[in-house]
Amino acid sequence: MYKIAVAGTGYVGLVSGVSLAEVGHRVTCVDIDEKKINIMKQGISPIYEQDLEGLMQKNYAAGRLTYTTDYQSAYKDADAVFIGVGTPEQPDGSANLSFIATVARQIAETIENDCLIVVKSTVPVGTNDKVEQFIQDFLVHDVKVEVASNPEFLAQGTAVRDTLQAARIIIGTESTWAEERLMKIYEPFKLPIVSVNRRSAEMIKYASNDFLALKISYMNDIANLCELVGADIQDVARGMSYDERIGSKFLNAGIGYGGSCFPKDTTALEYLAKQHGYQLRTVTATINVNKDQKTILYRKACRRLITFSGLKVAVLGLTFKPGTDDLREAPSLDNVPLLLAQGADIYAYDPVGKENFKRKYPAGKHGVGSITYVEQIENALDDANVCFIFTEWGQIKEIEPEAYKKLMRTPLVYDGRNIYSTAAMKEAQVEYYSIGRS
């Protein structure tokens, strides 16, 4: 087993580090946030992720997993350093690589043994070539160092399972030494390994995520046409799913994709193509459809209502998807400001995302509107004039159609995730608007 350091303890870094420890490696997770490190030493995960805390506690107790802010001690004699820091989107659509550069320089100035640097962060094609050269430029000791690309394919809410039971592991290397070391690190996972060169590995990540995003935007585009011609997008998707060339996943129409990957990765790949004088027309269309889709319910409601001023508006679901407290690119962030600007009195419910949302929109007045956070869905619906569903949490799915009629002052529901059948809502005498269904 190998001695491994992991730089960064966000979704990618922490889940990767815990998973590597789970299969037997000795792992040190490194972060600059001392408060965060102390929390993790207590067995508490800084992110909401199923099964993660249990594995953290198990492997910490077994001595296979430690946490530190002291990167020098973690990197100096590591067999491999995994980089899992953020690469946030910049205003022009490019990826911010400053965190990668900081860690790369720290590694170069610290390592004392031959070391494989494994970049798990999503980076533009060709970045790992630059990272390797950057490390060589600042290398202090006479040691062998190479960089490998090892993109992650985890999803928030299922990140642990996606790592330990991945469909495949992608590794990109430029030498037999790097390939063999990385394959040995992943051997205990007993998963299929696809070995390619670095640039191909980098592109696999973008091509995979952008294809899934394209699939979502395509179904949303078709859904909008279904409404106009009287077709039902759920029936259409069911019919499509039997074709093995299409498959059944990512066919659910809704109010667009969000999260840390799809929005950033589509924009980054579009930017990369433009830098090379090429236009990825399908990716550009994906981005544009998704942007419009996020506020489609708000626009529908504006056609139905004169104003939101003075109305109680129930907002069910704040995170970009269920199973996570992540708000990045969530549709709620596009719609809540519009509702507040119109003077809506919002009553918001989310089982795990409220605290994160409060940091952006504290409870109370916001201009002419206001926002109140509730612990129970019923509190949001009670005497409400209109309801928006932005996230398909199980707790929301459990609310029966009759409850909207019983609790709301006006049973007017805009469902961005097609949770309910149109027939059931009609029978319950709820005025119901969804996506792609007339």
pLDDT at 401: 98
Query: pLDDT of 249-288, one tens digit each?
Result: 999 999 999 988 899 999 999 999 999 999 999 999 999 9
pLDDT at 94: 85
pLDDT at 69: 97
Query: pLDDT of 177-227, one tens digit each?
Result: 999 999 999 999 999 999 999 999 999 999 999 999 999 999 999 999 999
For residues 377 and 158, what is the distance between their CA atoms, to the nearest angstrom?
25
Q: What's the predicted TM-score (pTM) here?
A: 0.91
333 close to 326: Cβ distance less than 8 angstroms: no
What's the mean pLDDT when you consider all of the chain?
A: 96
Phi-psi region of 398 (alpha: psi -120 to 50; beta: other; left: phi over 0): alpha
Pick one of 3.40.50.720, 3.30.70.1710, 3.40.50.300, 3.90.1300.10 as the CATH number of 294-433: 3.40.50.720
For residues 319 and 393, what is the distance between their CA atoms, to the nearest angstrom?
9
Catalytic hit among 29, 115, 261, 387: 261
- Which amino acid appears at position 202 of this protein? E
pLDDT at 156: 82
Mean pLDDT across 305-327: 95
Q: Is 125 in a helix, a strand, or coil?
A: coil
pLDDT at 95: 86
Q: Is 146 in a helix, a strand, or coil?
A: strand
For residues 4 and 26, what is the distance between their CA atoms, to the nearest angstrom?
6
387 assigned to active site? no
Mean pLDDT across 96-119: 96
For residues 125 and 272, what is the distance between their CA atoms, to the nearest angstrom?
8
Residue 157 predicted with pLDDT over 90:
no
Report domain 3-195's class: alpha beta
pLDDT band at residue 2 using 50, 70 and 90 as cut-offs: very high
pLDDT band at residue 26 using 50, 70 and 90 as cut-offs: very high
pLDDT band at residue 154 using 50, 70 and 90 as cut-offs: confident
pLDDT at 92: 87
**What letters, b where the CB count within 10 A reaches 16 and e where it falls short, cover 100-124?**
beebbebbbbbbeeebbbbbbbbbb
pLDDT at 397: 97
Phi-psi region of 68 (alpha: psi -120 to 50; beta: other; left: phi over 0): beta
- Calculate the CA dihedral of residues 322, 327, 329, 333 and round it to 10 degrees: 110
Query: pLDDT of 317-355, one tens digit each?
Result: 999 999 999 999 999 999 999 999 999 999 999 999 999
Residue 356 predicted with pLDDT over 90:
yes
CB neighbours of 268 closer than 8 A, spacing ≥ 6? 89, 93, 94, 95, 122, 124, 206
The DSSP string of 30-81 is: E-S-HHHHHHHHTT--SS--TTHHHHHHHHHHTTSEEEES-HHHHHTT-SEE
Pick one of 3.30.70.380, 1.10.3720.10, 3.40.50.1000, 1.10.1040.10 as the CATH number of 205-292: 1.10.1040.10
Q: Is 293 in a helix, a strand, or coil?
A: helix
Residue 50 predicted with pLDDT over 90:
no
Q: Estimate to the nearest angstrom the gap between the alpha carbon of 304 and the chain centroid.
A: 33
Residue 35 predicted with pLDDT over 90:
yes
Query: pLDDT of 56-102, one tens digit each?
Result: 999 999 999 999 999 999 999 999 999 999 888 888 888 899 999 99
pLDDT at 199: 97
C-alpha dihedral sign at 298, 301, 306, 307: negative
Domain boundaries, the chain: 3-195, 205-292, 294-433
- Domain 3-195 identical in fold to domain 294-433: yes
Q: Is 389 in a helix, a strand, or coil?
A: strand
For residues 165 and 204, what is the distance between their CA atoms, to the nearest angstrom?
19
